[in-house]
Each structure stands twice: as C-alpha cells, then as structure tokens.
Structure 1
C-alpha cells in the first residue's frame, strides 16, 4: 500500500513563518494539496473563530483550515530546508539563496496593516494582490481533479462592510446596481471551463476557456445569467452530456441547500465572500469517477454507509464524493495487499464558501440575509438546470 501524505498541524505551519506564500500571488505546496493565500488578519480570525467555537457545520462548507503563516525576512530568521521545493508562479524553486532573495523582495513590498487599511487612502486594487505579511493555509479544493472546471461566484447585494470608506461604498454600490448583484445577490467573478468553446484557438495552453471578471460584470445580466451557468456545466466538446450535466447540477443543489441551512442557523455578516464551484470537467474522467465511486460505495456500504450508490443522475455530498478521503478498515494490515488508489473516493465535485476578509460572527443580529439572497438565487438556477422544474 502506498504511503499516505502527512498533513502538517497548524502549529507546524506557523513555524514556517517565512511565508513562501508569495505576496505577489497565491501558492501551493509542491504536491498541490495545500493552498497558501495572502490575507488579512480578519480572515484568519474568522477561520479561527469557526475552529474555536466548534462550529462543525460551518467548517464543513469552508475549505479545510490548516493554519496561518507570517512573512519573515530570512536575514533575520534562517530558512528551513523544509521550505525547498515550493511552487511559485515561475515554477518550482529548489535553491535556498533564490528563495531567500524572493522573500526579501516581498518583505520590502509589505505595507504595514495600519497604512494598508487606512480609510482615507483607499484606492481600488484593480485586481492587484493585497500587500500583507500574513497568509492563510488551506486544503486546495481543486486538488485531485484531472481537469477541474472552476467557477467563483461573489455573493451579496451589498458588497461593502460597515467600516468601508465612503468612496469604496459608492464604487461598490455602482457595481451592484450595474450587475446581477442588485437583483440576484451574486455575480460571476470568473470561471474556467475545460474545452469550453468549439473554437480551439480560444483555449489556453491547458485546454481551458477562461472567463475573467469582465464576463460577469459586462456580459452577464439578469436575462442571460442562467445561460452563463449552463456554459459552465454543459459542454459537449468536453464530453459533458445532458445526463452528466444534470447530475452535477443536482449535486450542487444539495450542497447549496446545505449552505443555505448553515448560514440560516448562524448569525454572521460577510461582505464580498464567494462560493467556489468545482467539478471534473473532462466528461470521460467524470463518468469514470462516478463508476469508481459506485464500486467503492457498494463495497463499503454494508459497514460504513446507509445511502445508495450514486448514478449519473444521483451524486451528492451525502456520498462524500468531494472529500477524497481514503476509506480504511480499523485494521490496516487486513488490506495490506490492496492498492490504496482502489479505496480512494474520486473527485467529482466540490462546493465551498470562501473569502472572509470582511466576515465576522455577529451574535444578536440574526442570519446574514444579504449573503443568503445570493445563495437562494443560485439554488433556483441550479434547480432549473438540474431539471427539477420539468
């Protein structure tokens, strides 16, 4: 049986405070299983509040939180050899001096939080990465897919927090009025679709059609928004036929219902948070993953599961298909000759609530209806795409 990857504890990750977590952008570890994202202290506080208060239902709809990192100058604290092999936008770095030079460069760019958050000096980021010395370490939700289709949907009618400067409020209110935020409570912030166009010249080098933020701002409106989601899911060019597409939509419906339930049961306020939709975008791989999932579920159902195996029209979170967690007997030695890959639930789809730079728990204020407006609109759309209205 192959060796399992050891996931470091939050305390161990905090020790790696050199933050190869690239403040020019997000990074992954060398295996791609961890996602390292520059963030504000507020976002770290929100993850820690979920953990500290034992909100298991809330943690279930968020990416798995592994800890946080803080950028330090390697001239002050020597680099640990364990940091070699970190993935950056430029590729894999294995030279300690090269990594140290990059970190020194990033330290020099960091703006103190007090300055960065100053309301009087707020200006639009224009898509640039935030300047911060803190990063959050998460499980990479897109890890394990052959060709992951990814959709980022920003939630809310109102997009600004109470402490936002007046200019930011004015600008974000204008965005809300001009986009689907105003009536539906969400906007497509970007998506990538494997073989997402019949015209191959529009694909990137990995075969994806990329829809940037302007797609959701300038192209998508209240009248054609359902077609935009249809473009994300149904794709004959990649082998996603009507039956497969409807199955994926039905799975997202079940998870959206769970997100709605959790948000309705907690008192929070979050602004500009997003829902991240991921599913296997290669039709052949998607069909194979469902079949493999069925085999595993049938094999283990007598002891571990009470729900039926999935089909092309019945896939969902209740069957744990987004987890990628190995199924193990209490006695590992009993399965010593069995390949670990045969016991691994394949990645089929994932839905996670992300981006908590302006999020907090607010006891006494009731559920976050601003965010729930977007979730409920998405539920209506995915139910339509799943054929539930037929």
Structure 2
C-alpha cells in the first residue's frame, strides 16, 4: 500500500489514541489490539456463510502495517516507509524514536464518501466488561450499565455530531448526554440526531427515505448476528448520513433508480466505455470496535447485542412515525 502521509483522524464516541488517517482521508490506521486483529483476520479468512455474511457490515480490512518513529514531512514514502503523525500532541513531541504503535490495522475510513457527515456511535450490549477484566473494572462497568440505558435496552448513545445548516459546522453532542438520559428519553436522542429541516436537519421526505433504508440495513445486521455465536463486548453500531440535502437527494435517487433502465442504457453505450459508479450513498451503518469481540462456539448469539439492535429498530420506527406526521 502506498500513501502520501498520515495525519490526525477524529473519532466520534471512541478513543482517539493511535488513530491516524492517510492524507487523502480514505484509510484509517488504528492500533491493532490482539483480539481485534484476530477478529478481522477471522472474518477475512472465513468460508462459513454465517460468518461471511458479517463482512458487509464491518469496515473493510486491508491488512496491517508497522508504524515506526515520528513523522518526517521530508521523507519519501513507499510501501514500507510511511511517515506517521501520532494523534496526540504528547506523542508527537517524543524524541525516543521507538515503535509506539506496533502492528496497526488498515481500515477504510467510513466518513470519507460524505461531504458533511452526521455521525452517531451507539454502544451495543448489556455487558461492558471483558472476561479478563480486573474486579475493580468489572464493578465500575456493572454500575455504568445499571445507571444508564445499557442494562435495560442493550444500547447507549455515545457522542454524535449533526451539521448546522446555518454555520456549516458540525455540532457535537458529548458522551455525557448518552450517559445522562433514561430509556424513556431515547426518542429525544434519536430526534436530536435525525432532525427535520430547520437550523439542522434534512427535509422530512428526504430524511424519511434515509430512515427507511437505514432501518432495513439495521434489521439485516440483527439477522446476521442472530446466527453467529460470539460476544461483542464494547462494540458499537456506527450510523452516518449526509447532511448536505442536495448531495443526499442525489444519492437516494441513485440508490432507488430502476436497474432495468440502467441495463438498457448500458446496452446502448460502447462496451469499452467505463461505467459510472454513481454518487456516494447518502448513509452508512456498520459495526465497529472489536477489541473485546470473540467467537464463542456453543454459547449462542450475544443476546445483549440483539436486545440493543431491537431497541434501535424500535427507535427508528418511532422516529419514522414522527417524521411522517410532520
């Protein structure tokens, strides 16, 4: 893999330590924790149809890199020499030139296709601690689950951003919001992330189309996970959609186009002409953060994660009903 440079990459709802991005913003370089790397490799190598069905719903995994030293803007890049820039300023100020990152995952950057992405990270599951966690962390995570929406609903809203139509800047809602609301207040949270046209938000008909398509994908993810025996501790569902109305509408029209018309048009064109890829999709939804995800043969699916996805489906239904009534 050849890149020009690696720079900072912000994350919504997750840790930023060790997360880098290529200069073209198409790829993320993320510290590879052993369990997460094992998970990505297992998915990539799997032949079991139940496991391969998960591939479309996780970020595309392009392999690993070993990132060493500090960034050198004047150094040439090659497949084996990529200047790197640590995400934190404290890291970039170090002078020990040690390999701080070790093996790193190379993943697609899910935000890249979007002009102004609205982004929501939803923590899944009722259990927040790994089987190897120390007792003090277990106690802390149990309390967090009990005092937030996690234990009751199997999900918790973490940080999210929604672009302001007037300023053109993203407005961040911090993780403290998701920890502070009750299960009964979840509709308010989904309304904040899926607002209807105003200072923030898409026109109601356009937002409704995105919500309907998004719900179908979340249902597909739920169906896939119901057939896989694993435990997803700390994993999230990441939802993105385009806040630029014109761009979102163009993407929707392309997704909902008549494939028969496309086939007829292609027959009328020269066979050597390259087929247009079309505009970017107006939304995306993926599972992310697998640092504590393991396959658990004989133990069935993760009921806590399935509960969380059921809650999300219910909240999407509620939001669609509210948008239809406008």
- 2:133 is paired with a residue whose SS is coil
What is the match of residue 38 of structure 1? 31
Show the counterpart of 2:273. Answer: 335
Alignment of 1:220-235 (within 5 A): 220-235=181-196
The corresponding residue for 1:310 is none
Match of 1:56 in 2: 52
Per-residue Cα deviation, 1:239-280 (whole angstroms, up to 9, x for no partner): 512222222211121111111111111110110100000011
1:286 to 223, 227, 248: 248
Matched, 1:387 2:325: no
Unaligned 5+ segments in structure 1 are 1-7, 92-100, 111-131, 304-327
Instruction: Tell me the equivalent position of 2:292.
Output: 358
- Structure 1 residue 334: Cα displacement: 2.0
Deviations 1:155-200 (A, max 9, x none): 111111111110111111111111110211111111010117xxx6
Q: Does residue 67 of structure 2 align to residue 71 of structure 1?
A: yes
* Counterpart Cα distance in 2 of 1:24 and 1:261: 33
Distance 1:250 1:44, change over 3 A: same
Q: Under a length normalisation based on structure 2, what TM-score does the superposition of the two structures give?
A: 0.81
- 1:183 has 2:152 as partner: yes
Does the CA-based 8 Å contact 1:19-1:69 persist in structure 2? no
RMSD: 3.6
With over 3 angstroms needed to count, the CA separation of the structure-2 counterparts of 1:223 and 1:73, relative to structure 1, is same
2:7·2:21 contact (CA, 8 Å) conserved in 1? no
Cα shift readout 1:289-326 (whole Å, capped 9, x = no counterpart) = 223445584642569xxxxxxxxxxxxxxxxxxxxxxx
- 1:71-110 correspondence runs (5 A): 71-73=67-69, 81-82=77-78, 102=92, 105=95, 108=98, 110=100
Contact 1:41 1:134 in 2 (8 A): no
Q: Which of 143, 149, 170 pairs up with 1:174? A: 143
Contact 2:7/2:23 (8 A) holds in 1: no
Counterpart among 207, 210, 216 of residue 172 in structure 2:
210
5+ residue gaps, structure 2: 10-15
- After superposition, the C-alpha distances for 1:323-350 in whole angstroms (9 at most, x for unaligned) are xxxxx99x996215xxx7x432422110
Is the contact between residue 159 and residue 271 of structure 1 (CA under 8 Å) also seen in structure 2?
Answer: yes
Is the CA contact 2:124–2:237 (under 8 Å) kept in the aligned structure 1? yes
Q: CA deviation at 1:234?
A: 2.1
Moved more, 51-60 or 163-172: 51-60
Please report how far the alpha carbon of residue 222 of structure 1 lies from its aligned counterpart in structure 2 after TM superposition: 1.1
In 2, the alpha carbon distance for the partners of 1:105 and 1:165 equals 33
Counterpart CA distance in 2 for 1:46 and 1:332 is: 44
Spell out, residue by residue over 1:115-157, the C-alpha distance to the aligned partner (whole angstroms, 9 max, x if none).
xxxxxxxxxxxxxxxxx53321111111111111000000111
Pick aligned residue for 1:348 from 246, 271, 282: 282
Structure 2 residue matching 1:162: 3-state secondary structure: coil
**Residue number in structure 2 paired with 1:126:** none
Tell me how far apart the structure 2 counterparts of residues 89 and 333 of structure 1 sit (CA, whole Å): 46
Partner of residue 376, structure 1: 310
Aligned residues: 307
The answer to whether the Cα contact below 8 Å between 1:43 and 1:356 also exists between their aligned partners in 2 is: yes
Q: Are the structure 2 counterparts of residues 345 and 185 from structure 1 closer, same or farther at C-alpha, using a change threshold of 3 Å?
A: same
Where in structure 2 are the equivalents of 1:194-273 lying within 5 Å?
Answer: 194-195=163-164, 207-218=169-180, 220-237=181-198, 238-273=200-235
Q: For the residues of structure 1 that align with 2:233 and 2:186, how far apart are their CA atoms? A: 21
- The offset of 1:376, in angstroms, is 1.1
Partner Cα separation in structure 1 for residue 231 and residue 270 of structure 2: 44
TM-score between the two structures when normalised by the length of structure 1: 0.69
